[in-house]
A and B are shown apart, each in its own frame.
Chain A
Amino acid sequence: MKKLAVLVVALLFVCLAVAVFAQEGQEIAAKTSLSPNVRPAVTIDTGDTAWVLFATALVMLMTPGLAFFYGGMVGRKNVLGVLMQCFIILCIISIQWVLFGYSLSFGPARGFWGGLQWAGLAGVGTTPYPDYAPTIPHQLFMAFQMMFAIITPALIIGAFAERMKFAAFVIFTILWATFVYDPVCRWVWGAGGWLKEMGVIDFAGGIVVHINAGIAALMTAIFIGKRNGGSKAILPHNLPFTILGTGLLWFGWFGFNAGSSLGANGLAVNAFVVTNTAGAAAGLTWACLDRIFNEKPTVLGTVTGAVGGLAAITPAAGYVGPFSAIIIGIVVSLLCYTAVSVLKPRLGYDDALDVFGVHCIGGIWGTMAAGLFASKAINPDGPNGLFFGNPKQFYVQLLAAAVTLAYSFIASFIIYKAIDLCIGVRVGEKEEIIGLDLTQHHEKAYTVLE
Chain B
Amino acid sequence: MKLIIAIIQPDRLEAVKQELYKQEVFLITVNEVLGHGRQMGVAEVYRGTKEMGNLLRKIRLEIAVNEDFVEKTITAIVKGAQTGESGDGKIFVIDLVECVRIRTEERGHIAIG
B22 at interface by CB-CB < 8 Å? no
Docked complex Cα distance between A229 and B14 (Å): 9
CB distance from A223 to the nearest CB of B (A): 24
Instruction: From the candidates B9, B11, B42, name the one contacting A439 in the complex (CB within 8 A).
Output: B42
The answer on a CB contact under 8 Å between A438 and B44 is yes
The answer on a CB contact under 8 Å between A438 and B34 is no
A347 at interface by CB-CB < 8 Å? no
The SS class assigned to the A binding surface is loop
B113 at interface by CB-CB < 8 Å? no
Residue interface bits B28-49, CB-to-A below 8 A is 1, else 0: 0000101000000111111000
The interface residues of chain A lying within 8 Å CB-to-CB of B11 are 228-229, 433
B57 at interface by CB-CB < 8 Å? yes
- Interface residue stretch chosen among A181-189, A291-299, A440-448: A440-448
Given contacts A229-B14, A232-B14, contact A448 B57 (CB under 8 A): yes
With CB as the reference atom, state the residue of chain A lying closest to B50: A442
Given contacts A438-B53, A448-B34, A448-B57, contact A443 B14 (CB under 8 A): no
The answer on a CB contact under 8 Å between A438 and B42 is yes
The interface residues of chain A lying within 8 Å CB-to-CB of B55 are 449
The answer on a CB contact under 8 Å between B45 and A443 is yes
Residue interface bits A223-266, CB-to-B below 8 A is 1, else 0: 00000110010000000000000000000000000000000000
The interface residues of chain A lying within 8 Å CB-to-CB of B42 are 434, 438-439, 442
Most chain-A Cβ atoms within 10 A of its Cβ — which of B11, B43, B55? Answer: B11
Pairs across A and B, CB under 8 Å, 13 listed: A229-B14, A433-B9, A433-B11, A438-B41, A438-B53, A442-B45, A443-B44, A443-B46, A444-B53, A448-B32, A448-B34, A448-B57, A449-B34
The interface residues of chain B lying within 8 Å CB-to-CB of A232 are 14
CB distance from A369 to the nearest CB of B (A): 42
The answer on a CB contact under 8 Å between B14 and A442 is no
A interface with B by C-beta (< 8 Å): 228-229, 232, 433-434, 438-439, 442-444, 448-449
Docked complex Cα distance between A243 and B53 (Å): 31
With CB as the reference atom, state the residue of chain A lying closest to B32: A448
CB distance from A277 to the nearest CB of B (A): 42
Q: Which 3 A-B pairs have the closest CB atoms?
A: A438-B42, A442-B45, A433-B11
Docked complex Cα distance between A444 and B11 (Å): 16
Classify chain B: how many residues form its interface, as a range: 10 to 19
The interface residues of chain A lying within 8 Å CB-to-CB of B34 are 448-449
With CB as the reference atom, state the residue of chain B lying closest to A438: B42
CB distance from A367 to the nearest CB of B (A): 41
Docked complex Cα distance between A232 and B18 (Å): 13
Residue interface bits B43-66, CB-to-A below 8 A is 1, else 0: 111100000010101000000000
The interface residues of chain A lying within 8 Å CB-to-CB of B53 are 438, 444
Docked complex Cα distance between A147 and B55 (Å): 41
Docked complex Cα distance between A382 and B53 (Å): 59
CB distance from A326 to the nearest CB of B (A): 43
CB distance from B40 to the nearest CB of A (A): 12
With CB as the reference atom, state the residue of chain B lying closest to A230: B14
The interface residues of chain B lying within 8 Å CB-to-CB of A228 are 11
Docked complex Cα distance between A442 and B45 (Å): 6
The interface residues of chain B lying within 8 Å CB-to-CB of A444 are 44, 53
Docked complex Cα distance between A439 and B32 (Å): 21
Docked complex Cα distance between A331 and B53 (Å): 50
Docked complex Cα distance between A444 and B44 (Å): 8
Apart from A229-B11, A439-B42, A442-B42, what 4 extra A-B contacts exist at CB < 8 Å?
Answer: A228-B11, A434-B42, A438-B53, A449-B34
Given contacts A229-B14, A433-B11, A448-B57, contact A442 B32 (CB under 8 A): no
With CB as the reference atom, state the residue of chain A lying closest to B42: A438
Docked complex Cα distance between A406 and B32 (Å): 47
Docked complex Cα distance between A229 and B45 (Å): 28
The answer on a CB contact under 8 Å between A442 and B57 is no
CB distance from B59 to the nearest CB of A (A): 13
Docked complex Cα distance between A149 and B65 (Å): 59
CB distance from B41 to the nearest CB of A (A): 8
Docked complex Cα distance between A229 and B57 (Å): 18
With CB as the reference atom, state the residue of chain A lying closest to B45: A442
Docked complex Cα distance between A448 and B53 (Å): 12
CB distance from A165 to the nearest CB of B (A): 16
The interface residues of chain B lying within 8 Å CB-to-CB of A438 are 41-42, 44, 53
CB distance from B27 to the nearest CB of A (A): 22
CB distance from A154 to the nearest CB of B (A): 24
Docked complex Cα distance between A438 and B44 (Å): 7
Docked complex Cα distance between A229 and B10 (Å): 12
